[in-house]
Amino acid sequence: MKKSIKYAGIAAATLLAVAPVAAPVASTVSETTVKAATNATYTNTTDANAWLSQFADKTFAAGFNKDTPAFNLSVGNNQSLSAAVVAADPLIASSKVSTPVDGNTFDKATDTKITSVQAYAIDANGNVDSSAMSKDDVNTRLQNQLGGGVQVQLGYSYKTSADAAAVTGTKTINFKYAKTAATAPVTKATATYTTPINVAAGSKAANTQLQSSLNVSLKDQNGKELVGNTDEVAYVKPTSDYFTTLKNAETASAKADADTADGTFKANTTYYQRVTVASTKGSALDTYLTAQLKSADGSYTINGVSYANTNNGYITAGDTNNGATVTFVRAINAGSTEAASWTTTDTTGVVTTKTAHEYYTLNNDDNNIIANFVLGANTPWKTDKVRTNANGDKQYRVATGAWIDADNVVYSNGNNNSNNGSGLTDIKTVSGVATLTKAKGYYMALFNDEGKAYDSKYLGSPSAWRVDRTAKGADGKTYYRVATSEWLQAGEGVSFK
């Protein structure tokens, strides 16, 4: 399955292009050829290395995810991008550590180009995944602080003279974020996790063995999330074993007896799966859990229930090399065969993820959990389809082949940007800037020349956009042109200067 991208299509408007200056017409073919050769400017190895060395590994401060620069470059091989375009990408530009070199020496030199852009996930231990990532995967991973970060590799090619062989190579830039500062000591732990979860009959059991299938949270007395902070939590791991009774899963004393021999869940069956959260050896969390194991004081709760009053979320002592662990048991309900079939209808609106968890998983068209693709908490996504099954389960489509459970979002059937589509009039030439002033995560629709809102074109706030035209709509409101055939409606959250 191809990596999903946001169907939400929160597409930034393209800035107005400057009209190209017409080049003089050469009188003959031979004269044109001579001019091209005469005017060609090539780089040298020193200038090329200077351009490449201005980029270095970047570590964002903890909690900086809300302002992490966007990654806008297309990924893939066999590209021919100018060095200037690559250097101007917001994410790449954030890694500059020196003054950019003179544009005429490298980025505008003849036969100089970026031939490939590839991105790879870095896990919490610093290991790089060999599977290439999409542009949207990069932004999701960095903005939600998933794993350890992202590695971007730029392939380049340049010539030092017309007759010289091309010099090729790869520039690697690692983008990471600092670990969240450890909380010492931990005096309270609030654990929450989702149980049961519902899956379709015949869906793959392997999908529930991925960390991305979990909504596990463990917060300290200050409400700080410890899961994801490797100073406190070494790993979160669901097992590959399934049990048919809660008791057997809790003790793990019996052999896993759930029937997933063919790798799929059977219809009308409840499975039980163990999920382990391991503290980092010697951490504040390790110290706290060990103390709770010896004498529970009621400060540790699991889904709102005190540790002393539940058999779930139980603690196991650590050893010489490993910290104490917490193990939860979650139920997995496989629905009926009939429920595996969905009824899908068209819809128009926006779904906003809730805030109970830091991120929410998505399911593919077969209702299997998608690996390495999640939505952050309290983020809006455009939806165009909704589906339900015989169990009454309901999901919204937020990208091609990507669905989110209705229980995890709040649905809105549109926005307040409206126009009857009768066309824009009273168009005037201006020179100014329209600024979106709402908080990050707020989006405003763009309109076409007829005054109709685009289905999937929005501008995110906060941001600023050059304006060269104003107009009036049939609704009496003012519109600002921010790109060819793309207009922003005046109103709350938009200022113009």
Q: How does DSSP assign 40-93, residue by residue?
A: -----HHHHHHHHHTB--EEEPTTGGGGPPP-----BSS--B-HHHHHHSHHHH
CA distances from 172 to 60, 128, 135, 209, 490 (A): 17, 12, 16, 32, 43
144 and 242 part of one domain: no
223 and 135 part of one domain: no
Determine contact, residues 203/367, Cβ cutoff 8 Å.
yes
Residue 120 covered by a domain:
yes
Residue 27 covered by a domain:
no
Position 104 scores a pLDDT of: 56
| Calpha distance 401→362 (Å, rounded) | 9
166 and 47 part of one domain: yes
In one-letter notation, the amino acid at residue 214 is L
Position 289 scores a pLDDT of: 93
SS3 331: strand
261 and 160 part of one domain: no
What pairs with residue 169 in β-bridges? 156
Residue 480 covered by a domain:
yes
Sign of CA dihedral 433, 434, 435, 441: negative
290 and 202 part of one domain: yes
Determine contact, residues 288/254, Cβ cutoff 8 Å.
no
Position 5 scores a pLDDT of: 37
Q: Which two tokens stand for residue 406?
A: 């209705």
Return the C-alpha torsion angle 291, 295, 300, 301, nearest 10. 150
169 and 198 part of one domain: no
Q: Which two tokens stand for residue 72?
A: 């806008």
Position 459 scores a pLDDT of: 81
Q: Domain boundary at 147, 177, 207, which?
A: 177
Position 248 scores a pLDDT of: 86
- First vs last Cα of the chain: how many Å apart? 46
Kind of pairing, strands 167-177 and 58-60? Answer: parallel
- Considering just the CA atoms, what is the radius of gyration of the chain in Å? 27
148 and 275 part of one domain: no
The beta strand positions in 223-368, using DSSP E, are: 233-238, 269-279, 300-302, 305-306, 314-316, 325-334, 342-353, 359-363
The residue segments making up the domain with residue 193 are 189-334
Position 22 scores a pLDDT of: 36
Q: Domain boundary at 285, 311, 334, which?
A: 334
SS3 36: helix
| Calpha distance 92→70 (Å, rounded) | 9
Is the whole-model pTM more than 0.75?
Answer: no
Residues 6+ positions from 412 with CB-CB distance below 8 Å: 349, 350, 351, 352
Residue 303 covered by a domain:
yes
330 and 199 part of one domain: yes
95 and 205 part of one domain: no
- Cis peptide leading into 380, omega within 30 of 0? no
- Number of domains forming the structure of the chain: 3
163 and 50 part of one domain: yes
Residue 96 covered by a domain:
yes
CA distances from 157 to 80, 116, 488 (A): 9, 10, 40
Q: Domain boundary at 127, 148, 177, which?
A: 177
Position 428 scores a pLDDT of: 83
Residue-wise pLDDT for 248-306, tens only, equals 888 886 666 666 667 888 888 889 999 999 998 888 999 999 999 888 788 999 988 88
pLDDT in tens, the chain (497 residues): 333 333 333 333 333 333 333 333 333 333 333 344 446 788 888 888 888 988 999 988 765 555 688 899 999 999 999 998 999 899 999 998 876 665 557 888 889 999 999 999 998 778 898 889 999 889 888 877 777 899 999 999 999 999 999 999 999 999 988 765 544 689 999 999 988 888 888 888 888 888 777 888 999 998 888 988 888 899 999 988 888 888 888 888 666 666 666 788 888 888 999 999 999 888 899 999 999 988 878 899 998 888 878 878 889 999 888 899 999 999 998 877 766 778 888 888 888 888 777 778 888 887 888 876 778 888 888 888 999 887 788 999 988 888 999 988 888 765 444 443 447 778 888 888 898 887 776 777 888 877 888 766 778 788 888 888 888 887 788 999 988 778 898 888 888 98
| Calpha distance 313→193 (Å, rounded) | 10
229 and 161 part of one domain: no
162 and 71 part of one domain: yes
| Calpha distance 413→407 (Å, rounded) | 16
